[in-house]
Amino acid sequence: MPRIEVDETLCKGCELCKMTCPKQCIEMSDKFGKSGYFPAKLAKEDCCIGCKMCYQVCPDVAITVYK
């Protein structure tokens, strides 16, 4: 099952990945990350298709895609 992992220390909560995800399966966390922003996270477990679009647009290389 494809999934993404977001590095909380790198993510600045810009929401670009959330806007880009074709399956709308990324949402922003409601808890502060380690760097003081609301980091992105995978909303649903079996939603990700591993298309790497979030990785492509992430300005902080905070997302790792697993497949």
Partner 1 sequence: MTAEKAITKRPSGLTDKKTHYCPGCGHGVVHRLIAEVMEELNIVGKTIGVAPVGCAVFADTYFACDMIQGPHGRGPAIATGLKRSKPELAVFSYQGDGDLASIGMAETIHSAARSENITIIFINNCIYGMTGGQMAPTTLIGQKATTCPKGRDAKKQGYPIKVSELLATLQGAKYLERCAVHKPAFVAKTKMAIKKAFQNQIDGKGFSMVEVLTVCPTNWGLNLKDSIGFLEGPMEEYFPLGVYKDEK
Q: Which residues bind partner 1 (CB under 8 A)?
A: 1, 3, 9-10, 12-16, 19-20, 35, 37, 50, 52-53, 55-61, 63-67
30-35 contact pairs (CB < 8 A, 24+): 33/8, 33/9, 34/8, 34/9, 35/8, 35/9, 35/10, 35/11
Least separation, in Å, of the C-beta of 43 and partner 1?
19
Q: Which is nearer to partner 1, 13 or 42 (CB)?
A: 13
Q: Which is nearer to partner 1, 12 or 43 (CB)?
A: 12
